[in-house]
Amino acid sequence: MAQYENMTFSRQQLYDEIWSISTSRVAKKYSIPYDKLKKACKDANIPTPTQSYWSSLSIGKEVEKEPLPPSEVKEVVVQYSIKSKEIIPPQINVTQVIEEAVLQSTDLQKVELKTQPQRTYVEGQRNVYDREILYNEVWNEPVTTVAKRYGVSDVAIHKVCKSLSIPVPPRGYWAMKNAGQPVKQIPLPVYDGPAQKIGIKSFDDSEVKAESDDALSFLSEDERIRLIIAAQQITILDDKCKLHSKLNSHKAKIKVWRSNHHRDEFAPRNRDTYRSVPDGEPFLYNDISDVTFPRVYRILNTLFQYVEALGGSVNDDLSLMIRNEKVFYTITEGQDQVPHVLTKDEQKQWDQYERDKKSRSWAYEPKFRKWDYIPNSKLRFSVKANSFIRDSETIGLELRLGEMLVSLFEESENVRIAREKREEAHRKEEEEKRQRELKREHYNQEVEKVQALENEANDYDMACKIRAYISAVEDKASLDESTLKWIEWAKAKADWYDPTVAAFDPDFGKRNHTLDEEKKRPSKKSGYSIW
List, for residues 90-107, the tens digit of each pLDDT value.
466 777 766 666 665 544
Radius of gyration of the chain (CA): 43
SS3 322: strand
pLDDT tops 80 at residue 447: yes
Supply the range of the domain harboring residue 28.
1-110
Q: Are residues 106 and 122 in the same domain?
A: no
Tell me whether residue 284 is in a domain: yes
Q: Residue range 353-372: average pLDDT?
A: 85
Q: Are residues 100 and 142 in the same domain?
A: no
Q: What is the mean pLDDT of the chain?
A: 82
Q: Are residues 392 and 380 in the same domain?
A: yes
Tell me whether residue 217 is in a domain: no
pLDDT tops 50 at residue 21: yes
How do beta strands 313-314 and 320-322 pair?
antiparallel
pLDDT tops 60 at residue 58: no
Tell me whether residue 32 is in a domain: yes
Q: Are residues 430 and 320 in the same domain?
A: no
**Terminal C-alpha separation, the chain:** 107
Q: Are residues 256 and 379 in the same domain?
A: yes
- Residue, of 114 and 119, whose pLDDT is higher: 114
Q: Are residues 461 and 327 in the same domain?
A: no
pLDDT of residue 88: 36
Q: Are residues 59 and 13 in the same domain?
A: yes
- In the chain, the percentage of residues whose pLDDT exceeds 90 is 31
Q: Are residues 126 and 76 in the same domain?
A: no
Q: Are residues 18 and 123 in the same domain?
A: no
Tell me whether residue 142 is in a domain: yes
Tell me whether residue 470 is in a domain: yes
Q: Are residues 45 and 85 in the same domain?
A: yes
pLDDT tens sequence across 276-324: 778 889 999 989 988 899 999 999 999 999 999 999 999 999 999 999 9
Tell me whether residue 222 is in a domain: no
Number of domains in the chain: 4
SS3 119: helix
Which of 48, 76, 110 is the C-terminal boundary of a domain? 110
pLDDT tops 60 at residue 112: no
Q: Residue range 238-256: average pLDDT?
A: 91
How do beta strands 196-200 and 126-130 pair?
antiparallel
Query: What is the band of 376 on the pLDDT scale with cuts at 50, 70, 90?
Result: confident
Query: What is the band of 385 on the pLDDT scale with cuts at 50, 70, 90?
Result: low
Torsions phi, psi for 513 (to 5 deg): -70, -20
The reply to whether the predicted model has a pTM over 0.75 is no
DSSP assignment, residue 186? P
Query: What is the band of 52 on the pLDDT scale with cuts at 50, 70, 90?
Result: low
Q: Are residues 156 and 66 in the same domain?
A: no
pLDDT of residue 85: 37
pLDDT tens sequence across 131-181: 888 999 999 888 888 888 888 888 889 988 988 899 999 877 877 777 667
pLDDT of residue 210: 41
Q: Are residues 155 and 291 in the same domain?
A: no
Which of 210, 233, 267 is the C-terminal boundary of a domain? 210
pLDDT of residue 213: 43
Cα angle vertex 311, ends 309, 312, to 5°? 100
Q: Which helix (H) or strand (E) holds 375?
A: strand 371-384
Which of 210, 230, 264 is the C-terminal boundary of a domain? 210
Tell me whether residue 236 is in a domain: no
Strand partners, 509: 505
Tell me whether residue 404 is in a domain: no
